[in-house]
Amino acid sequence: MDSLFVRKLELVRRGQFSTKFNTFILRVLVMGERKNFAKRLRLNETLIGTLVSLPAPDICELLGSIGYDWLFIDTEHGAFNPQQAQSMLQAAYPTPCLIRVPSGEEIWLKKALDIGAAGVIVPQVHNATQAKKIIANCKYSPAGKRGIGIGRAHKYGIDFERYLKNANDETAIVLQAESSEAVENIDKIVTVKGVDAILVGPYDLSASLGKAGEIDHPIVQSAINRIIDSCQSANISMGIFGVDSAAVLPYKERGFNLLTVGTDTLFLINSAKETFLKMKTEK
């Protein structure tokens, strides 16, 4: 271990700095260590994150500093290119980030993992055949057929051997169930080896079931209950998105542990709107 690192750590332990500064120093000292998010997911730990849709690294840095367990980088709906997504991961570090790819095609999975995402969220997975193909494209041989290249994930070759050895275990693979077809096939999807979690897409699911936007409709809730039963039988994590804590907490009580609460844009809009209206109405 670096001697300067040890000396600084000892100063922190002795309380030589303010509590606030100690916290900052400790965070800086451990910047090289990112928690194994995939392991925590497989242990069904409760993991609280939020969705980032604006390609602004400062947002990830701020949210990561708050203490979120993970960040959901949305390149499916957000206006991201790979370089912007990589900058977001760098700014958030060491907070684990999962990238929701635009689709389950190999090229998107490869790019997300090569730039250093802790895992991927794959939208519109309808059946076990799709699931198996996604897993294969995310895992190195012999578990899969992920291509090998030079990238940020292994510090551009510096950490190549260690990364190649551990990547399969340290990469989280989350599949989205957000269609009536996925619900029909959920029992088979959850048994595909390598699937770490199922993330319910409540809005797309409601649309697929003919109840667009009505996520509390009995038909939609019945479908979600079916997903819950399958995930619990397979003992894999369950994820959900909600616009705020009030929307997510009921799902937490039902056993969901991969929680996405709010979005960067909603936080900005709601706070700005509240402040503006308060100033507008104050005499």
So which residues are the catalytic ones?
77
122-139 core/surface letters (b: 16 or more CB in 10 A; e: else): bbbbbbbebbbbbbbbbb
Residues contacting 109, CB < 8 A, separation 6+: 101, 120, 122, 134, 137, 138, 146
CA nearest to 85, candidates 102, 71, 73, 76: 73
Rounded distance, CA 31 to CA 19, Å?
19
* C-alpha 165 chain-centroid distance: 22
Question: Which SS3 state, helix, strand or coil, does residue 217 take?
Answer: coil
DSSP 154: G
Q: ∠ CA 184-75-255 to the nearest 5 degrees?
A: 45
